[in-house]
């Protein structure tokens, strides 16, 4: 059973329950070669705190002493590892050395007989150079074998491996078929050659097309990815599990892993590492160490690099900043930068999963930042949902200080008195003054010196919006200070934010009769919106977006047909949810597919009556797939809490 605890991009911090304990994801499973233990499983557990490892059942089965021992005392005792053990099936050996002498059923049964927690099908490794026909044919065999493995798995979990070489449509097809089977984890296989050859942008397409087809409620394992350099990107794309044989393999030939690549000991100018394995050593002393001890030190160094990076990745996911870390990491190698640029092609798919807001500021790290879903989302929302208060625009430029209307109140007032709407050309594109406090506009930090991509893109998207929404556009500095028109900036803002967040139809339903705004005395910001005597919305100071109150939800539900903004729950959940408890996915019977994580949602009963309001913790598709976990974080509904 898998549960999402925290998310960012497609990344998730998850809880994966197995019969040997709970694994927090993202997690890396060090590979144990049962014949050569460079670092013992016991040390991996006690010293490095790994809660899961992976070993090879094919090697064990083909080594008589190991086979007998494993079947007699079980894999956990044989390896002296109390945590979770995953085993592979021999597929990788067939990739390396040709045919293997075992059938799918034999190796699955064998894995069961030695007490593996997560066993692997004997899938067919689809090589990157294979033709499409050859790949398609072999996928059918892998699918049949997976079906069989799921039938006979017993209480062992099964890895259903997604294959498909470099063909995105075959990857997605294979993933979709796998999603319908009773597999427990989905490794993405056949990618080792891509990583060895630095073909990271193809890796992006392979992972993303597999993710499109997979069931989101199962962990995804990226088979053979264990270099710290690729982990942030892989986690951002929604990979939960990794395995590394390289930590030991590289150590045996004096190669040290670092976050920015791998270095051969003989080519290094200095050691420059203070990990527990290297501490106190110099390059010279390490070079002089005898082979066995040196291998042990480097293997440990490599493991520390991996564990440090994973810990950092988790921190960034928790802070909602994994895009920033990934963009930084992808500058370690031009091939990684290609991968990051390739990821932009998947922006629309990622947007469905990308949280609508986050705590803290969004940092721009370079032109690739423009590939993040927030950019596309902002532009499509203002194009679709923005209605200007006047039909004339006055243009200003981003001076770095935000929110814009607080940075230049006199200028904005001057143009408004002449009937113009101030529009700032920002790195996000055009920002009407009334939207300058919503996430991510006010919560983003850009370098003062703009790059060419930003200049070109923000100008062209601004031109498009101005053309579509206004009849006249002037430079804000050219508007004389003699206007006398009256305007109510707060009410304009209150409606504009509502349209941006909920759409125009919902806004028409929400804003009826007399509108009163409660403004914070300290900040001057809108706090509550009262419409026709009812408190319908509260604005959060942090992201400038609304929380929806019960009275507001009632209006939307009366005006707009279900499933708009709805999460409908089963009768047995209603008493709990009405008391303010969260909605769990197993109780959801219907959900609006357009709701994004962190978006406001209306919880309804079977008669479309409002039970509560809250914020989405998952997407509709995830809610349908998951057996466990919070679908909507419900707020009690009382008072004007935000």
- Return residues touching Zn ion (CB under 5 A): 273, 275, 278, 301
CA dihedral 59, 63, 65, 67 (to 10 degrees): 50
Closest distance between ligand GUN and the C-beta of residue 224, in Å?
4
Q: Is 543 a catalytic residue?
A: no
Q: Report the partner that residue 3 touches, choosing among ligand GUN, Zn ion, none (CB closer than 5 to 8 A by kind).
A: none
Instruction: Closer to ligand GUN by CB, 115 or 190: give it.
Output: 190
CA dihedral 553, 554, 560, 566 (to 10 degrees): 50
Closest distance between ligand GUN and the C-beta of residue 215, in Å?
19
Instruction: Closer to ligand GUN by CB, 138 or 498: give it.
Output: 138
280, 288, 245, 284: which is closest to 268 by C-alpha?
284
Q: Report the partner that residue 125 touches, choosing among ligand GUN, Zn ion, none (CB closer than 5 to 8 A by kind).
A: ligand GUN
Q: Alpha-carbon distance 56 to 70, whole Å?
A: 12
Distance of CA 464 to the CA centre of its chain: 30
Q: Alpha-carbon distance 160 to 118, whole Å?
A: 10
305, 311, 222: which is closest to 262 by C-alpha?
305
Closest distance between Zn ion and the C-beta of residue 263, in Å?
11
Closest distance between Zn ion and the C-beta of residue 280, in Å?
11
Q: Report the partner that residue 301 touches, choosing among Zn ion, ligand GUN, none (CB closer than 5 to 8 A by kind).
A: Zn ion
Per residue, what are the HEC states of 538-589? EECCCCCCEEECHHHHHHHHHHCCCCCCEEEECHHHHHHHHCCCCEEHHHEE
Closest distance between ligand GUN and the C-beta of residue 162, in Å?
9
Q: Report the partner that residue 189 touches, choosing among Zn ion, ligand GUN, none (CB closer than 5 to 8 A by kind).
A: ligand GUN
Closest distance between ligand GUN and the C-beta of residue 36, in Å?
18
Instruction: Closer to ligand GUN by CB, 123 or 543: give it.
Output: 123
327, two tokens:
């963009």
Instruction: Closer to Zn ion by CB, 29 or 297: give it.
Output: 297
318, two tokens:
């928790």
Instruction: Closer to Zn ion by CB, 275 or 517: give it.
Output: 275
Q: Which residues make Cβ contacts (< 8 Å) with residue 132, sequence separation at least 6?
A: 165, 167, 170
Q: Report the partner that residue 273 touches, choosing among Zn ion, ligand GUN, none (CB closer than 5 to 8 A by kind).
A: Zn ion
What number of other Cβ atoms are within 10 A of residue 141's Cβ?
14
Instruction: Closer to ligand GUN by CB, 243 or 324: give it.
Output: 243
Q: Which residues contact ligand GUN by CB under 6 A? A: 88-89, 91-92, 120, 123, 125, 161, 189-190, 192, 223-224
Q: Alpha-carbon distance 95 to 193, whole Å?
A: 10
Instruction: Closer to Zn ion by CB, 301 or 372: give it.
Output: 301
Q: Report the partner that residue 192 touches, choosing among ligand GUN, Zn ion, none (CB closer than 5 to 8 A by kind).
A: ligand GUN
Closest distance between ligand GUN and the C-beta of residue 97, in Å?
13
Element of type H or E holding 62: none
Q: Alpha-carbon distance 125 to 137, whole Å?
A: 12
531, two tokens:
């419409």
Q: Alpha-carbon distance 465 to 470, whole Å?
A: 8
Do residues 347 and 323 touch, judged by C-beta distance below 8 A?
Answer: no
Q: Report the partner that residue 223 touches, choosing among Zn ion, ligand GUN, none (CB closer than 5 to 8 A by kind).
A: ligand GUN
Point out the catalytic residue in the list 8, 88, 240, 436. 88
Q: Which residues are catalytic?
A: 88
């Amino acid at each position: 059973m898998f549960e999402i605890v925290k998310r960012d991009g497609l990344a998730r911090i998850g809880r994966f329950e197995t019969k040997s304990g709970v694994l927090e994801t993202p997690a890396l499973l060090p590979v144990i070669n049962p014949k050569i233990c460079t670092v013992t499983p016991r040390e991996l557990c006690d010293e490095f705190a790994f809660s899961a490892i992976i070993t090879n059942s094919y090697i064990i089965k083909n080594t008589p002493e190991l086979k007998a021992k494993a079947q007699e005392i079980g894999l956990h005792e044989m390896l002296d590892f109390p945590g979770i053990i995953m085993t592979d099936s021999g597929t990788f050996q067939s990739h390396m050395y040709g045919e293997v002498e075992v059938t799918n059923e034999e190796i699955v049964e064998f894995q069961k007989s030695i007490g593996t927690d997560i066993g692997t099908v004997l899938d067919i490794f689809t090589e990157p150079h294979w033709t499409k026909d050859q790949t398609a044919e072999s996928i059918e065999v892998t699918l049949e074998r997976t079906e069989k493995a799921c039938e006979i798995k017993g209480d062992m979990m099964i890895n259903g491996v997604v294959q498909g070489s470099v063909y995105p449509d075959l990857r997605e097809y294979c993933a979709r078929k796998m999603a319908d089977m009773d597999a427990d984890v989905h490794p993405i296989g056949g990618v080792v050659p891509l990583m060895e050859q630095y073909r990271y942008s193809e890796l992006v397409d392979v992972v993303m097309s597999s993710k499109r087809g997979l069931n989101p409620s199962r962990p995804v394992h990226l088979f053979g990815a264990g270099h710290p350099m690729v982990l942030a990107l892989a986690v951002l794309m929604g990979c939960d599990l990794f395995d590394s044989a390289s930590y030991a393999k590289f150590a045996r030939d004096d190669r040290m892993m670092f976050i920015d690549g791998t270095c051969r000991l003989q080519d290094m100018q200095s050691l420059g590492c203070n990990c527990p394995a290297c501490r106190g050593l110099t390059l010279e002393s390490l070079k002089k160490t005898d082979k066995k001890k040196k291998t042990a030190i480097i293997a440990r160094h490599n493991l520390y690099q991996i564990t440090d990076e994973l810990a950092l990745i988790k921190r960034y996911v928790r802070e909602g900043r994994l895009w920033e870390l990934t963009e930084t990491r992808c500058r370690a190698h031009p091939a990684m930068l290609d991968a990051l640029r390739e990821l932009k092609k998947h922006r629309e798919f990622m947007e469905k999963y990308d949280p609508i807001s986050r705590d803290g500021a969004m940092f721009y790290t370079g032109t690739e930042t423009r590939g993040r879903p927030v950019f596309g989302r902002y532009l499509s929302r203002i194009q679709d949902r923005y209605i200007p208060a006047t039909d004339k625009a006055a243009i200003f430029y981003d001076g770095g200080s935000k929110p814009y209307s607080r940075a230049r109140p006199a200028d904005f007032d001057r143009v408004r008195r002449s009937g113009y709407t101030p529009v700032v050309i920002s790195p996000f594109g055009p920002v009407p003054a009334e939207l300058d406090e919503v996430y991510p506009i006010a919560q983003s930090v850009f370098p003062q010196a703009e790059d060419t991509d930003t200049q070109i893109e923000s100008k062209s998207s601004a031109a498009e919006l101005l053309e579509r929404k206004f009849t006249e556009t002037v430079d804000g500095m050219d508007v004389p200070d003699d206007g006398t028109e009256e305007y109510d900036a707060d009410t304009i803002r209150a409606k504009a934010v509502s349209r941006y967040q909920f759409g125009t139809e919902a806004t028409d339903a929400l804003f009826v009769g007399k509108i009163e705004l409660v403004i914070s005395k300290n900040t001057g910001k809108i706090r509550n919106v009262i419409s026709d005597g009812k408190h319908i919305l509260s604005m959060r100071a942090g992201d400038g977006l609304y929380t929806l109150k019960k009275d507001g939800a009632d209006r939307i539900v009366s005006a707009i047909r279900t499933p708009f903004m709805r999460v409908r729950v089963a009768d047995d959940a209603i008493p709990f949810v009405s008391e303010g408890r969260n909605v769990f996915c197993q109780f959801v019977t219907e959900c609006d597919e357009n709701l994004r994580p962190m978006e406001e949602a209306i919880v309804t009963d079977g008669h479309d009556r409002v039970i509560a309001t809250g914020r989405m913790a998952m997407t509709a598709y995830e809610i349908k797939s998951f057996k466990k976990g919070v679908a909507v974080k419900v707020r009690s509904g009382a008072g004007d809490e935000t």
